[in-house]
Amino acid sequence: MMISAGIDMGTQRVKVAIIKDKQIIAQSQNFSGFEPAKVAEQTLKEALESAKLSREDIEHITATGAGVNMASFADSTISMMGADAKAGAYYFPSARTIMDVGAEDARAVKCDENGVMMDFVVNARCAAGAGTFIEAMARALEVEMNDMGSLSLNAERASPINASCVIFAESDVVSLIHREEPKSEIARAIFDAMAERVSSMVNRLGVTPDVVLIGGVAKDVGFVASLKRRLGIDILIPEEPIYAGAVGAALVAAKRAKRRH
């Protein structure tokens, strides 16, 4: 019996996953806020509570994510791409291309059947291909972010939109609303633009099926529909994609703990 934990220090949320013999036994998440180090401790504590474990039961903790240095209690670290590859192969052993669209960045990783990363691309320069974009657009459209996905599914076509940049897109959306374009079409245009960015990134890597989408944005049905349309292939999504990074880190932790034995 081996218990290990992974902690994903995302830009928006801190996620923790605890696994026991390759089974996820607990997951928890919190907004990172202004003191991510404290939040990290807190999130881990919550996860431990839900799994009815104590800190000593965990043999190894591996941290990942943009704020990886904040998790000072972690035993080791792994890059986000490495964690993505591990998680993707864990959820779907047939996965070869894993896309991770988070709050502020998007990544794509190629991996082999063991979840070893073979190649990767990162889009970290611009938020127009990540979750924050949806958030900003939902604000402009004055709809709930979670509703935007289902809203866009009703649209037959997409409105023309300049989506090269979050700021410009926002003013575009405002002028479209003034022209009384249906909100659903605007929403679809937003998702299409985002899918365009993500797919152009993943195309640089080359799309090898099966394709897995993880990260917080993977829950958004509108985005997933647009991305499927854009790539023209089916996309596998785990049940709780937001924890993928943490799960990947926990798997790495398990491997590292085993190596120590």
Partner 1 sequence: MASKIEKEPKYIPEMAQSEIDELNKSIKAASIKVIEDNIERMKKTWKNRPKAMEYFDEISNLFGKRAKELEEQKAAGKKIIGYSCIFAPIELILAADAIPVRVGSGWYDTAKLGDRIMPVEICPVIRSTVGAKMVSLSPYLELSDAIVIPLTCDGRTKLSEMLSDFKPIWYMNPPRVKDDTHTLDMWKKEILVIKEKIEKLTGNKITRQKLKEAIEKMQQATKAFRRLQELRKGAPVINGRDAMLVNQTSLWDDIERWTQKVNELCDELEKRVEQKDYSSYPDTPRVMITGTPMIWPDSWKVPNLIEESNPQGVVVVDEQCSSDRILYDPVGVDEWNMSDMLNAISERYIMACTCPCFTSEHGNEDRINWIIDRIKEYKVDGVIYYVVRGCILYAMEYARIKKVLDKMGIPVYYLDTEYTREDVGQMKTRVEAFLEMLEARIDI
Question: What are the C-alpha distances in Å from 26 to residues 16, 41, 61, 117, 180?
Answer: 8, 15, 14, 25, 46
User: Does residue 77 bind partner 1 (CB under 8 A)?
Assistant: yes
User: Does residue 205 bind partner 1 (CB under 8 A)?
Assistant: no
The β-bridge partners of 211 are 97, 235
Cβ neighbours for 177, distance < 8 A, ≥ 6 positions apart: 140, 141, 183, 186
Region binding partner 1 by CB under 8 A among candidate stretches 91-99, 110-118, 166-174, 210-218: 110-118
Sheet holding 3-9, edge to edge: 23-31, 13-20, 3-9, 60-64, 76-77
Q: Supply 41's token pair.
A: 């401790």
Measured from the CB atom, the residue of 165 and 177 that comes closer to partner 1 is 165
Residue of 79, 145, 153, 165 interacting with partner 1 (CB under 8 A):
79
| Distance in Å, CB of 79 to partner 1, minimum | 4
User: Does residue 190 bind partner 1 (CB under 8 A)?
Assistant: no
Number of residues that bind partner 1 (CB under 8 A): 14
Residue of 51, 63, 117, 138 interacting with partner 1 (CB under 8 A):
117
Question: What are the C-alpha distances in Å from 260 to residues 141, 218, 245, 256?
Answer: 53, 35, 23, 6
Query: CB count, 10 Å around CB of 143?
Result: 16
User: Does residue 120 bind partner 1 (CB under 8 A)?
Assistant: yes
Return the C-alpha torsion angle 94, 51, 37, 144, nearest 10: 70
The β-bridge partners of 19 are 4, 24
User: Does residue 194 bind partner 1 (CB under 8 A)?
Assistant: no
Measured from the CB atom, the residue of 3 and 78 that comes closer to partner 1 is 78
User: Does residue 90 bind partner 1 (CB under 8 A)?
Assistant: no
User: Does residue 124 bind partner 1 (CB under 8 A)?
Assistant: yes
Q: Are strands 23-31 and 60-64 parallel, antiparallel or unpaired?
A: unpaired
Binding track over 136-175 against partner 1, x by CB under 8 A: ----------------------------------------
User: Does residue 12 bind partner 1 (CB under 8 A)?
Assistant: no
User: Does residue 80 bind partner 1 (CB under 8 A)?
Assistant: yes
Residues in touch with partner 1 (CB under 8 A): 66, 77-82, 116-120, 122, 124
